[in-house]
């Protein structure tokens, strides 16, 4: 968590084209646990090892994509303080009422210069990870249903003005830069990986003319062997894979990217390293971006670079 | 890192009986990288993927054990502020001058109620992890020399008054409790695992009558396969193993414990989960402590529970 | 398979003290697939990736242990030829009728000088591994139920006269010696690992005064990670573990040993190397047997060396 | 090994465009051990865990490709008997003298209907795997130099008349069919995977108009994690990767394919299952060949299907 009190990615709300098909996909293939449905027709999921009520929410819509990403902060006082910092910085915020999202408190919502809706919240009901708080086992049956990632880990968003986005995350919210890709001019940052913890990314952005686009939501796996198992399950269920299994040079993460039935890309990955705010940001240059993207193959995969939802 | 600005375990200074033998052990068997020697005869090491100058320092002495553990904080202002908080809480501190430890700034030292010397520091030269800051690979040759852990991860210390120790870490330094072992009375905490990050432990304490004792310093490995490889290397080099490879119920960590040539126990481990300050502390009871200690075997290993240095 | 036409370990029949408890254990904890019961009250199991009807058969009896081990040979002509070779060598054989074991043809039974009942058979119904013969997946749901080993791999038997046992396996049945442990006299073989394939063992014997004893039946796992998962499942089900997870020096296998509810030891292991009949037999000496038994710990575990069923 | 006495793939001789560059590649990047050079300018390599003098031989030539593949048989009597069986079947053979290949006995050479030179031999000096025959460790330093596969495992060859090739391997040499790909007519075998052991392949052929072509030589890795490490090393050394890391549906093998500096494709893989001669051959149909080739991605990679040397 950041010293500002921003803890972690808390939830993403994703638009899907067909709700029933998507529920089946996220529950049976991805192996998320359904934790609720609300009167707006939204369906709530969590990963098996998450404690909070939900981290991934889907709603039916005519077009795929991301509605918003929310980060959990330490407590309501922190939320208020960050809201005030955002406003002082010139970011307009608005409050969404407690209960608008199931089992979730008030959220402070704002629009990023990249066109994405982003929010902070301090309260979400803990439902546990299926294991007792006393003498728990290391995993439970839920850990083997479907691809069964551990947690919703981060998202990569595409949109304009990421230099301004970066300022909000670094100067106001207390994130730090972990890695970046710079353009051929060796100066302009075209991709930024930001952490509010010692993860290699809690959120990332790529410069892109169209605002508010989703490249992928990412789910953490426990091992390289579990990434392979995930790929097997994708194949068994005719999930369309984009790239992988492979390793990124960027973040060192070991990964598969695929699409949900609506064309929202998701990632199942493991690995990376443990950066801290005192670490220098690592830089990837365009002449070596192939290695950054797909380390073994050193290839720029066209679909990966261009398709967003 | 904690919201107070405590970042991570920064260094441990360990007493060894024979310096030359210990250098060979830590360099050639453990695979740490020697980064310096000072005029007090101390030898400095770092793990291959650490950025800081050193994380593990040994000095020759008639008795094995730990001299002190130091945590890195964000910056000098944070150091000052934490010093002042400690003093306000009633903890007496003293400053060790910059340069007393090689490439390390001023340190704020204090004695824990458990009898351990503990310190905070804000400055230590970054020497890098052997890879460039631009277009780095995921690992380099150093990652395969000896057991080659990624980083110095945490320490488990034995001493009295851990209830008081806990207060300092939680109330002053901003750590949170991740797991604990309670005595047969189902109340008294006899073991506490504390985090200033989202690691399952940055430091841990076990109640023990004799003050200032070391149970183990722990080094992080990348995978369960690397833990096995480490065990192979221990055997090839006639290192005395205490327990493992196995998994702890406590923290879920997968581990081997062994002794350095002086009888200081060390751990090479991987795994665990990702707790945050809003998580409830997990509790282990004495009637199930065998599973907490050695999950597959559910056994209380006498040597593990009683031998310290 | 050996050039004589001996293919592989085909089945073991094991005595259990309580049939219902044992069925639950082997089906729900071990994750074997029950494939039948016969009018003698025997229950038949197979591992998920085996093609044959059954490989592990249990029957209720007042004392635990092994009734017999059977190896599959290529065809009925091979069976006849091996029977004739055994007889010519002086081994008395008898035929058990087809159908005595479910879905199994005639078996040629004989008693080894170690007091074990051993048999060869050529016919057992193929029931498949749960996947189609056309466009099969790499695994199916059965691969994740319980510990779920891939196959019954080998057995280690304790009894007298293993020098004579070795002659039958090597000179008549076409096995070759992969590894051996020699006594303090540096001559007498006290443990022998025999292969009829390029596995590190298809069967093994240890010299022991009492005839016909079982040290363990062994089940193959796919990876070191799956061995750990198996250990987790043992703990979750209060299975009594003997040693492991660890690696043997002997065979390089990575392993856990535990006991079924009746006190029959079993092994879940992975790894090893790929010996061929032209390889020289590897030798372990008593002064280094600790490393042979438990490579990381270099320890002689008393229970492992003395308890048999 | 087959019941005929054919043991295993013994050696491949490969043509490279630049000998010095290729020596550097196979020694420093692939991590093979150079074991000799002969007066024809050939350079001999072995994998670290192989016992025989050499398994991979390169010679400089204007065009890349494979000169011949040789399988080791049990002994000289077996060699003679197989030679006689081949001749009786109508395959013309010739003897190459002992010593023509370093440390190798007489070889029985013949031309397959696919245009490949194939040979059998019974004698090759054992040089060991760098570990003693008494109390050996599980691996040695050679196991970590470069990609460091365990052994030369198999080859996939492209050429015409594979129906006739199959007959020689199955009817004369005692191999059995493990898997096959059939054409759109659901009858014609266009790819065949053959085993003389319980490996998923000791050799494989794909129907192709041009005779004598090499698709790849394959090297066995110990784990999926080691396959990834191999991919990292390829990238660090700018090796051109074709596909992977991924899993094949065919054989279940987990793999990376890349090219040596001359354009000879090689594979580094792990996994698969354990077929025996009594198993039914698995069939892949053209309408699902994407899954057979790249299980997670279900894609037909053009380069993989068309480029040979």
Neighbours of C246 (CB within 10 A): 25
Name D13's Cβ contacts closer than 8 Å, sequence gap at least 6. Answer: D42, D57, D58, D59, D66, D67, D68, D70
Pair of tokens at residue D143: 């196991």
**Domain assignment present for B1:** no
Q: Are residues C163 and C31 in the same domain?
A: no
3-state class of A43 per DSSP?
strand
Neighbours of chain D (3+ CB pairs under 8 A): A, B, C
Name the stretches of chain A with pLDDT < 50: none
What's the rounded Cα separation, in Å, for the pair C231 and B225?
A: 15
Q: Could you tell me if D71 and D212 lie in one domain?
A: no
Calculate ∠ Cα A139-A140-A146, nearest 5°: 100
pLDDT (tens digit, 9 = 90+) per residue, B273-303?
999 999 999 999 999 999 999 999 999 999 9
Q: Which CATH number goes with the domain that contains B82?
A: 3.10.180.10
Give me the residue from C3, C51, C133 closest to D1, CB to CB.
C3
φ/ψ region of D105 (left if φ > 0, alpha if ψ in -120 to 50, else beta) reads: beta
For D162, counting Cβ atoms within 10 Å of its Cβ (0-12 exposed, 13-18 middle, 19+ buried), the class is buried
Residue with tokens 């990292």: D232
| Residues in chain B within 8 Å Cβ distance of A281 | 133
> Does the residue D78 lie in any domain?
yes
- At residue A266, the 3 state secondary structure works out as strand
Residue A18 and residue A62 in contact, taking contact as beta carbons nearer than 8 Å: no
Domain end call among C120, C144, C168: C144
- SS3 (DSSP) at D174: coil
One domain, residues B172 and B77: no
Mutant choice from A224, A225, A227, A233 vs C, greatest count of C C-beta within 10 A: A225
Please say whether the beta carbons of C152 and C203 come within 8 A.
no
Residues from chain B that touch D144, judged by Cβ atoms under 8 A, are: 144
| A298 and A205 in a common domain | yes
Report yes or no: D168 and D89 within 8 Å, Cβ to Cβ.
yes
Residue labelled with tokens 């608008």 = A100
Q: How far apart are CA B140 and CA B161, in angstroms?
A: 43
Asked if the structure places residue D1 within a domain, the reply is no
- Asked if D10 and D135 sit in the same domain, the reply is yes
Residue A216 annotated as catalytic: yes
Instruction: Round to whole Å and give the CA distance between B83 and B89.
Output: 10
Q: What SS3 class is residue B85?
A: helix
A112 and A190 together in one domain: no
Question: In chain C, which residues have their Cβ closer than 8 Å to the Cβ of D5?
Answer: 3
Q: What is the pLDDT of residue B96?
A: 98
Our measurement of the distance from residue D57's CA atom to the centroid of its chain's CA atoms, rounded to an integer in Å, reads: 12
User: What residues in D contact B137, CB-CB < 8 Å?
Assistant: 232, 235-236
* DSSP-derived pairing of the beta strands D56-60 and D107-111: unpaired
In the annotation, is D198 catalytic? no
For residue B24, being part of any structural domain is answered with yes
Chain B residue with minimal CA distance to A10?
Answer: B276
Element (H, E) at D48: none
- What's the DSSP call for residue B232? H
pLDDT tens-digit profile, chain D (309 residues) = 899 999 999 999 999 999 999 999 999 999 999 999 999 999 999 999 999 999 999 999 999 999 999 999 999 999 999 999 999 999 999 999 999 999 999 999 999 999 999 999 999 999 999 999 999 999 999 999 999 999 999 999 999 999 999 999 999 999 999 999 999 999 999 999 999 999 999 999 999 999 999 999 999 999 999 999 999 999 999 999 999 999 999 999 999 999 999 999 999 999 999 999 999 999 999 999 999 999 999 999 999 999 999
Nearest CA in chain D to A225: D224
Q: How many domains does chain C have?
A: 2
pLDDT of residue D1: 80
| Contact predicate C230/C236, CB 8 Å | no
Domain boundary among C144, C170, C188: C144
Taking only the tens place, the pLDDT of each residue in B141-160 is: 999 999 999 999 999 999 99
**Nearest CB neighbour to D296, from listed A231, A249, A296:** A231
pLDDT single digits (tens) D175-219: 999 999 999 999 999 999 999 999 999 999 999 999 999 999 999
List CB contacts of C86: < 8 A, sequence separation 6 or more.
C93, C108, C110, C168, C172, C173
- pLDDT of A1: 79
Q: Two tokens at C39?
A: 């009018």
Instruction: Write down the residue that tokens 């254990």 correspond to.
Output: C25
Closest CA to C94 of C106, C76, C81, C77: C106
Q: Considering the domain boundaries, does residue B95 fall inside one? A: yes
Residue of D8, D222, D288 lying closest to C276 (CB–CB): D8
Query: What does the pLDDT read at residue D163?
Result: 98
Evaluate whether C271 touches B208 at the Cβ level (below 8 Å): no
- Whether residue D128 sits in one domain with residue D76: yes
Interface with C, mutate which of B225, B226, B228, B293 (most C CBs under 10 A): B228
β-pairing, D107-111 with D94-96?
Answer: antiparallel
Last residue of a domain, one of D144, D163, D183: D144
User: For chain D, how big is the Rg over CA atoms in Å?
Assistant: 18
> Smallest Cα–Cα separation from C242: which of B251, B287, B229, B294?
B294
Angle at B221 between CA B216 and CA B224, to 5 degrees: 110
What is the band of B1 on the pLDDT scale with cuts at 50, 70, 90? confident
Report which of D100, D115, D213 is spatially closest to residue D156, judged by C-alpha positions. Answer: D213
Q: Give the angle A292-A7-B51 at the CA atoms, nearest 5°.
A: 45
- pLDDT of residue B190 exceeding 90, the answer is yes
How many beta carbons lie within 10 A of that of residue A63, not counting itself? Answer: 10
| Coil, strand or helix at A184 | coil
Question: Which residues in C lie closer than 8 A to residue A137 (C-beta atoms)?
Answer: 232, 235-236
List, by residue number, the catalytic residues of B: 154, 201, 216, 248, 257, 267
> How buried is residue D143: exposed, middle or buried, by Cβ count under 10 Å (0-12/13-18/19+)?
buried
- Shortest CA gap D262–chain C (Å): 30
Sign of CA dihedral B29, B31, B37, B41: negative
C80 within a domain of the structure (yes/no): yes
Q: Give yes or no: D215 in active site.
A: no
Do C276 and C158 share a structural domain? yes
Write down the pLDDT at residue D26: 98
Locate D307 and state its tokens.
Answer: 């480029």
- Reduced to 3 states, what is the DSSP secondary structure of residue D188? coil
One DSSP character per residue, C215-239 reads EEEEEE-S-HHHHHHHHHHHHHTTP
Q: What is the pLDDT of residue B134?
A: 98
Residue positions of C annotated with a catalytic role: 154, 201, 216, 248, 257, 267
Look at B137 and D232 and tell me if their CB atoms are within 8 Å: yes
Does residue D277 contact residue D176 with C-beta atoms inside 8 Å?
Answer: yes
Kindly state the tokens that stand for D244.
């992977």
What is the distance between the alpha carbons of residues C123 and C45, in angstroms, rounded to a whole number? 17
Q: Measured between CB atoms, which of B235, B254, B296 is closest to C256?
A: B296
Strands (E), chain A: 6-16, 33-37, 43-46, 56-60, 65-73, 94-96, 107-111, 117-121, 151-159, 176-182, 189-195, 203-207, 213-220, 240-247, 253-259, 265-271, 282-285
Q: List C246's β-bridge partners, or say none.
A: C255
What is the chain D residue with the closest CA to B226? D225
- Contact between D225 and A228 using a beta-carbon 8 Å cutoff: no
- Identify all chain C residues contacting B238, using CB atoms and an 8 Å cutoff: 298
Nearest CA to C159 out of C212, C110, C204, C119 is that of: C212
Cβ-Cβ contacts under 8 Å for D28 (sequence gap 6 or more): D146, D237
| One domain for residues A208 and A131 | no
Residue C138: list chain D partners with CB under 8 A. 247, 249, 252, 295
Size of interface A-C (CB pairs under 8 A): 14
Same structural domain for residues B130 and B17? yes
Sign of the dihedral defined by the CA atoms of residues C2, C6, C8, C12, in that order: negative
B120 touches B112 (CB < 8 A): no
Structural domain contains residue C1? no
Q: Is residue C132 part of a domain?
A: yes
The per-residue DSSP string of chain C comes to --TTSEEEEEEEEEEES-HHHHHHIIIIIS-PEEEEE-TT--EEEE-TT--BS-SEEEEE-SS-EEEEEEEEES-HHHHHHHHHHHHHHT---EEEPTTSSTTB--EEEEE-TTS-EEEEES-B-B---SS-SBS--S--GGGGSTT--SEEEEEEEEES-HHHHHHIIIIIS--EEEEEEE-TTSSSEEEEEEESSSSS-SEEEEE-SSTTEEEEEEEE-S-HHHHHHHHHHHHHTTPEEEEEEEE-SGGGEEEEEEE-TTS-EEEEEEE-----TTSPPEEEEGGGHHHHH-TTT----HHHHH---
Q: What is the pLDDT of residues C261-277, one digit of tens each?
A: 999 999 999 999 999 99
**Rounded-to-integer distance, Cα C276 and Cα C283, Å:** 16
What is the mean predicted confidence (pLDDT) over B239-263? 98
Are A297 and D241 in contact (CB < 8 Å)?
yes
Set of chain C residues whose Cβ sits within 8 Å of the Cβ of D293: none
Check B232 against C247: CB less than 8 A apart.
Answer: yes
Which residues does B306 contact at the CB level (< 8 Å), separation at least 6?
Answer: none
Q: A228 and A96 in one domain?
A: no
Instruction: Quote ipTM for the complex.
Output: 0.96
Mutate which: C138, C140, C145, C239, vs A, most A CBs within 10 A: C138
Q: Are strands C33-37 and C43-46 parallel, antiparallel or unpaired?
A: antiparallel
Q: Which of A225, A241, A296 sits opposite D296 (nearest CB)?
A: A241
For D17, the domain range is 6-144
**Same domain flag for B291 and B159:** yes
Cβ separation B297–C254 shorter than 8 A? no
Chain B interface test: which of C228, C230, C247 (most B C-beta within 10 Å): C228
Name the residue facing B7 among A134, A138, A276 (closest C-beta).
A276
Q: What is the pLDDT of residues C19-69, one digit of tens each?
A: 999 999 999 999 999 999 999 999 999 999 999 999 999 999 999 999 999
For the cut 90, the answer to whether the pLDDT of residue C221 exceeds it is yes
d(CA A106, CA A99): 7
3 state SS for D205-227: EEECCCCCEEEEEEEECCCHHHH
Question: What dihedral angle (degrees, nearest 10) is formed by the CA atoms of B130, B134, B138, B143?
Answer: 0
In this prediction, residue C1 has a pLDDT band, given cuts at 50, 70 and 90, of confident
Contact present, C57 and C45 (Cβ < 8 Å): yes
Q: How confident is the model at residue C137 (pLDDT cuts 50, 70, 90)?
A: very high
**Which one of the listed residues A248, A274, A279, A301 is annotated catalytic?**
A248
Residues in chain B: 309
Alpha-carbon distance A56 to A46, whole Å?
6
**C300 burial via Cβ count (<10 Å: 0-12, 13-18, 19+):** middle
């Amino acid at each position: 968590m950041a010293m500002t009190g921003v803890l972690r990615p808390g939830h993403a709300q994703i638009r899907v084209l067909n709700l029933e098909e998507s529920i089946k996909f996220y529950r049976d293939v991805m192996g998320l646990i359904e934790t609720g449905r609300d009167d707006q027709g939204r369906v709530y999921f969590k990963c098996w090892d998450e404690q909070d009520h939900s981290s991934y929410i889907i709603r039916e819509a005519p077009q795929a994509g991301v509605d918003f990403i929310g980060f959990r902060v330490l407590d309501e006082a922190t939320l208020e303080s960050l809201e005030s910092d955002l406003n002082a910085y010139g970011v307009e915020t608005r409050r969404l009422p407690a209960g608008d999202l199931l089992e979730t408190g008030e959220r402070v919502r704002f629009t990023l210069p990249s066109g994405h809706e982003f929010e902070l919240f301090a309260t979400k009901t803990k439902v546990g990870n299926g294991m007792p708080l006393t003498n728990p086992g290391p995993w439970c049956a839920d850990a083997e249903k479907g691809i069964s990632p551990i947690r919703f880990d981060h998202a990569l968003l595409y949109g304009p003005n990421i230099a301004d986005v970066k300022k909000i995350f670094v100067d106001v919210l207390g994130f730090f830069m972990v890695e970046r890709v710079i353009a051929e001019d060796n100066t302009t940052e075209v991709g930024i990986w930001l952490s509010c913890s010692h993860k290699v990314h809690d959120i990332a952005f790529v410069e892109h003319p169209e605002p508010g686009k989703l490249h992928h939501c990412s789910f953490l796996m426990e091992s390289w062997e579990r990434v392979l198992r995930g790929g097997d399950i994708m194949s068994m269920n005719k999930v369309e894979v984009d790239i992988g299994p492979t390793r990124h040079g960027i973040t060192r993460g070991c990964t598969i990217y695929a699409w949900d039935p609506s064309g929202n890309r998701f990632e199942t990955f493991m690995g990376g390293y443990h950066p801290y705010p005192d670490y220098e940001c690592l830089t990837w240059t365009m002449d070596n971006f192939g290695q950054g993207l797909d380390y073994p193959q050193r290839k720029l995969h066209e679909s990966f670079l261009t398709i967003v939802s």
